[in-house]
Structure formats: structure tokens, C-alpha cells
């Protein structure tokens, strides 16, 4: 049995625009990831830039920030056994062309940028990213 973890998920603007929130949430729940916090936000440029600060030297940074503020997002905390790695598996590879069948990105992503979901890549980053959007009292497991 893996350890119970929490990870941060974001349903990105390409997915909210196509009303895929419910279908994406079903993928999480079917995989055993419990949605223990969720809110719909329109990120500011400052918030998106700060959230993706680790990528600020990457050539796609400006486009990524513009994309992330192009419409509403749904930020969520997912809880379950090995939630960080399990969520990455349910999401699929960054580039939908490389994503496994049945994954969210394979089924729903439009491109390597507009790839429908964000998920924390380590337990340490998950803790930081959850704290970026949620207070402890907003997370109900």
C-alpha cells in the first residue's frame, strides 16, 4: 500500500472552454483520486507567472502564461494513495502525441501547450502548489 498523499491539479482553460470539467473529474474519481478541494478561478497574469516561475527561462513561458489566463481554470486538491504519481499517470505525457491511450491528455488535449491539465510533479512541489491556492480549512478529506 502506498502512502496517502495530496497533489494539486488544474483543469486548464482549453478544457473549461469545452466543458470538460465533469469528464476530467470522472477520470480522477475512477482512478481512486478523491477531489477534496475545488474552485473555479480566472488567474491573473501575476498569479500564472508566479505559479509557473520554474519555467520562466523556457522559450514557451510567455505563451504559457497567456494561455493560462485566456479563460477560467479549476484548481483542485486530489487525495489518494500515491496521489502525485497516480495523477501524473492519469494525466498522460505532456505532449498528447506521446500520451498513453485512456489518459486525459490523449483523449482531450489540443496541443503540447493546451494540454487540459496540470499536476504536481513531486510531493514537495505538491505541498507548495496546494498552499499557493488553498488554505487548510478549504481542504476537506
Q: Taking CB within 5 to 8 Å according to partner kind, which of ligand ADP, Mg ion, none is near residue 115?
A: ligand ADP
Tell me if residue 42 is catalytic.
no
In the complex, minimum distance from the CB of residue 121 to Mg ion, in angstroms, rounded to a whole number: 5
Rank residues 60 and 138 by Cβ distance to ligand ADP and give the closer one: 60
**105, 92 contact by CB (below 8 A):** yes
Contact positions vs ligand ADP (CB under 6 A): 55, 60, 64, 94, 112-113, 115, 118, 121
How many residues of this chain bind Mg ion (CB under 5 A)?
1
* Strand 117-119 relative to strand 4-11, pairing: antiparallel
What is the distance between the alpha carbons of residues 98 and 105, in angstroms, rounded to a whole number?
9
Residues 6 or more apart in contact with residue 137 via CB below 8 angstroms: none
The residues that are catalytic are 118
Amino acid at each position: 500500500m502506498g502512502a496517502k498523499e495530496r497533489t494539486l491539479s488544474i483543469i486548464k482553460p482549453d478544457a473549461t472552454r469545452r466543458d470538460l470539467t465533469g469528464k476530467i473529474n470522472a477520470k480522477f474519481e475512477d482512478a481512486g483520486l478523491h477531489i477534496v478541494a475545488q474552485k473555479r478561478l480566472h488567474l491573473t497574469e501575476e498569479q500564472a507567472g508566479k505559479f509557473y516561475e520554474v519555467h520562466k527561462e523556457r522559450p514557451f513561458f510567455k505563451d504559457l502564461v497567456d494561455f493560462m489566463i485566456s479563460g477560467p481554470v479549476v484548481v483542485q486538491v486530489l487525495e489518494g494513495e500515491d496521489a502525485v504519481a497516480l495523477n501524473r499517470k492519469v494525466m498522460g505525457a505532456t505532449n498528447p502525441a506521446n500520451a498513453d491511450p485512456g489518459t486525459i491528455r490523449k483523449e482531450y488535449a489540443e496541443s503540447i501547450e493546451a494540454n487540459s491539465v496540470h499536476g504536481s510533479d513531486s510531493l514537495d512541489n505538491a505541498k507548495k502548489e496546494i498552499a499557493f491556492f488553498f488554505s487548510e480549512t478549504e481542504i476537506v478529506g
